[in-house]
Chains A and B, each alone.
Chain A
Amino acid sequence: MDPIRQIRSRTAVLPFTNIDTDQIIPARFLRTTTREGLGKQLFADWRYLPDGSPKPDFALNQPAAVGCQVLVAGRNLGCGSSREHAPWALLDHGFRAVISSEIADIFRNNSLKNGLVPVVVDESTADWLLKNPGVEVTIDLDSTQLRLPDGRAVQFPIEPFARYCLLNGVDELGYLVSQQPVISAYERTHA
C-alpha cells in the first residue's frame, strides 16, 4: 500500500442515510475471485439503467463528479454486509476517502485495511458538506483534520495504529506475523 498523508479533492455527494454495501456493490458482482476491476460495478443499480446505459440523474454520472476522490454520504454509510468488495469498488472507481457523520463498523475496518480513508465528522459539518457538493476539501492524516474551503478545520477520529499504517504504507499483516512468538506462547497456555 502506498503511504497516504493528504488527500485534496472536490467532493462527490450522495445525500442518503444508511447507504448499505448492497448498494455500493450488489451481490451478483461478488462472484469473483480477484479484487480488481470492481469500479465499473460501483453503485451499479443506482448508476445504470437496465440496458446498461448511465442513469442521467445519478450524482456520480454528472460531469462534476468526474475525478472526485472524496465521497460524502449521509449517516451510517456502509451498513450491512461485510463484503470488502465495497471499498475495493470505491477505490477502483477513484475514491480515496469517504466522509459521513457515522460509518458502519465492518465497512470502516475494511476501508482502513485498503487505504480508503474513513472520515467521521459531526452532524453539522456533515450537513454542510451534503448541501455543498463539489467543494474542495483537504483530508490531512498527519493532523487528523478535515479542512473546508471556508478555512474551518475539523478534527476527525481515527484509530492510531490504523493511522500509522496509512501514513507509512504498512500492511497490518506484517505486524501480526511479527507477533508469531507471542501467539505460539498463547497457544501453549490456552490449548
Chain B
Amino acid sequence: MKTMLQKIWERHEVVPETADTPAVLYVDLHLVHEVTSPQAFSVLREQGMKVRRPDLTLATMDHSTPTRTEQVFGGAPIAIASAAQQIAQLEKNCAEFGVELLNLRSELRGIVHIIGPELGLSQPGKTVVCGDSHTSTHGAFGALAFGIGTTEVGHVLATQCLLQRRPKTFAINVSNRLAAGVSAKDLILAIIGEIGVSGGTGHVLEYRGEAVRALTMEERMTVCNMSIEAGARAGMIAPDDTTFDYLQSRPRAPKGTEWQRRVAEWRALPSDAGARFDREVTLDGERIEPMITYGTHPGMVTPISGHIPATRGDAVFDKALAYMGFQAGEPIRNQPINVVFIGSCTNGRLEDLRAAASLLRGQHIARGVQMLVVPGSQQIKKAAEAEGLDTIFRDAGAEWRESGCSMCIGMNGDNVASGQYSVSTSNRNFEGRQGPGARTLLASPLTAAASAIRGRVTDPRELLNG
C-alpha cells in the first residue's frame, strides 16, 4: 500500500537514496523565470555546459515584468531599468542555450504557475520544479511539484536531476462540502491556520476528502499553491475525471492513443486505500467561513466574522500587530482599506476573475479605494475580455492590466504605499511584501471584491445574500 508521493518518487529515482547519499531524482518539467535563473545560466556558461533537456524546459517572464500595456507592448520603455535588464538577460540566456521562451509579447505568456497547467504541461505523475516556492501549485494535478533555489536550477539545467531526500507525508482530510460564499482560498487559509506556518515543514501535503474532490481544477490549484505557506515541501491532490477533463483539450497534453495510455496510468496514481501517512489532520469543510489574515504571516488568520486574538505578552505577535496598525481583540470586519488586488498565481485564474466580477457587476468600488485586477496569463486576459469581465472591472472603477505577478510581490512597479491597507488575493502578507510598509490582508476574490465595494473588510456573504 503506497501513497501517491511514494509512487511518483519511486518512478523518478535515477539512483535511490542511501544513508550517506540523497536520491538522484529525475525532473520531467522544469519551469524557468527571469528572477531566479540568471546566476544558474552563468554557472553553465562558466563551466562550458549545455542544457541537458531543453525539450523539458520552458521559460517565461512574470515577476519583474511591468503590467502596464504600453510598457509591455511598446510606446513606453520598461520603467524599471534593472527589470528591463533582467528580462533582456533571460532572452539572451534562452537563445544561447536553446530553451523555449514565452517572452514579454507572447500571447502565451503569464505567471509561470498559471501557464504550465494552461498549456497542459502540468500532468499527473510528473515531477515539476521551478525556482519559485509556489511551484507547489502544479501538485493539483497529482504531480510532485516543488520550489528550488538557483543552484538547483543550475543542477536541473545541466543534468535534469536533483539530489533529494524523500519528504514525509501529511494527509489533510477535508470532509463535507464548502458552504456558499466560501472558496478554495478560504479553505487553504483555514488549513494553514489549523496546522501553522511551519506545520508542513519536511512534509508533502496530500489534500483529500469530499470537499477537495468537489473542487474544480482551478480551485485545487489555489489550495496546492499555498502549501508552502504551511512550510510544506509540496502539496498534491489525486488526479480524477476533473483533472482529465481539464487536461484533455490542452495544446501540450498527450493526444490520441497516447492520451488513453496516460489516463490509464494516471488512474493508478492515487494513494492506495489504507496507505499510511506520517501525519494526518481532518477539517470539516462545512464549518469553514470566509477567512482573512490580520498579521504578517499567513497563519495569522481568522474567520472574517472573528476577532484579532487578544495579546498574550508575545513580543513577535505585538510587533506584527504594531506593523499592521491593529489592536488585539478588535473585530477584523469593517476595518477600512485602501487597496484591493485581484490576481497572482494563487487567485489570478478565470474563475477567480468571474467570482470577483459577479459582485462588481453594476457596482462601483468605494471612493478612495484603488483596485487592480491582473489576469494570471495573457490567455486568461483574452478569455476574460471575451466574456466582458474587463468592462465590469473598469466600469466599477478598477484598473485592468497585462498579466504578471504584479502586486503580489513588490518588485515590478505595482506597489502598495507604506501604511496602506491592501485586501489581496495573493499568497503572502509578510512585512513589506507588497512594498515597504504595506499592510496586506490575504483573502479570496469574493472577499476582496466585496471589500472594494464597501471600502472596508466585508464578508462577501452580505452581498451575495442581497
Residues 90 to 123 of chain A near chain B (Cβ within 8 Å): 102, 104-106, 109-110, 113-114
Which A residues are closer than 8 A to B by beta carbons?
15-18, 20, 22-23, 26-28, 30-35, 45, 50, 74-76, 79-84, 102, 104-106, 109-110, 113-114, 159-161, 164, 172-173, 175-177, 179-180, 182-183, 186-187, 190
A104 to B198, CA, bound (A): 8
Return the CB mask of B18-40 against A: 1 if under 8 Å, else 0.
01111010100000000110110
Find out whether the CB atom of A45 lies under 8 angstroms from the CB atom of B431. yes
Return the CB mask of B260-303 against A: 1 if under 8 Å, else 0.
00000000000000000000000000000000000001010000
A105 to B432, CA, bound (A): 22
Q: Which residues of A contact B431 (CB under 8 A)?
A: 22-23, 45
**Stretch of B152-160, B169-177, B327-335 that contacts chain A:** B152-160
Return the CB mask of B143-165 against A: 1 if under 8 Å, else 0.
00001111110110011110101
Find out whether the CB atom of B155 lies under 8 angstroms from the CB atom of A84. no
A81 to B428, CA, bound (A): 9
Check: B83 CB closer than 8 A to any chain A CB: yes
With A27-B410, A102-B201 already in contact, the answer to whether A82 and B22 are too (CB < 8 A) is no
Q: In the assembled complex, how far is the CB of residue A172 from the closest CB belonging to chain B, in whole angstroms?
A: 6
The 7 closest A-B pairs by CB, nearest first: A110-B149, A33-B38, A31-B82, A84-B149, A27-B411, A82-B147, A113-B151
A94 to B165, CA, bound (A): 29
Find out whether the CB atom of B201 lies under 8 angstroms from the CB atom of A161. no
Most buried by B among A34, A179, A182, A183: A183
With A74-B316, A105-B202, A176-B163 already in contact, the answer to whether A31 and B14 are too (CB < 8 A) is no
Find out whether the CB atom of B410 lies under 8 angstroms from the CB atom of A26. yes
With A102-B201, A104-B198, A160-B20 already in contact, the answer to whether A82 and B148 are too (CB < 8 A) is yes
A34 to B11, CA, bound (A): 36
Find out whether the CB atom of A114 lies under 8 angstroms from the CB atom of B22. no
Check: B430 CB closer than 8 A to any chain A CB: yes
Find out whether the CB atom of A82 lies under 8 angstroms from the CB atom of B316. no
With A31-B80, A183-B159 already in contact, the answer to whether A84 and B20 are too (CB < 8 A) is no
With A34-B39, A34-B42 already in contact, the answer to whether A79 and B21 are too (CB < 8 A) is no
Q: Which residues of A contact B228 (CB under 8 A)?
A: 80, 106
Partner of A176, one of B82, B161, B202, B436: B161
Q: Give the nearest-CB partner of B135 in chain A.
A: A82
A109 to B80, CA, bound (A): 31
With A33-B39, A45-B431 already in contact, the answer to whether A190 and B319 are too (CB < 8 A) is no
A20 to B198, CA, bound (A): 11
Q: Give the nearest-CB partner of B11 in chain A.
A: A190
Return the CB mask of B399-414 against A: 1 if under 8 Å, else 0.
0000000000111000
Q: Which residues of A contact B42 (CB under 8 A)?
A: 33-34
13 new A-B contacts, CB < 8 A, other than A27-B411, A83-B35, are A23-B430, A27-B409, A34-B39, A45-B436, A80-B430, A84-B39, A105-B202, A109-B148, A173-B159, A179-B15, A183-B26, A183-B161, A186-B26
A32 to B63, CA, bound (A): 12
With A20-B297, A79-B198, A82-B132 already in contact, the answer to whether A32 and B428 are too (CB < 8 A) is no
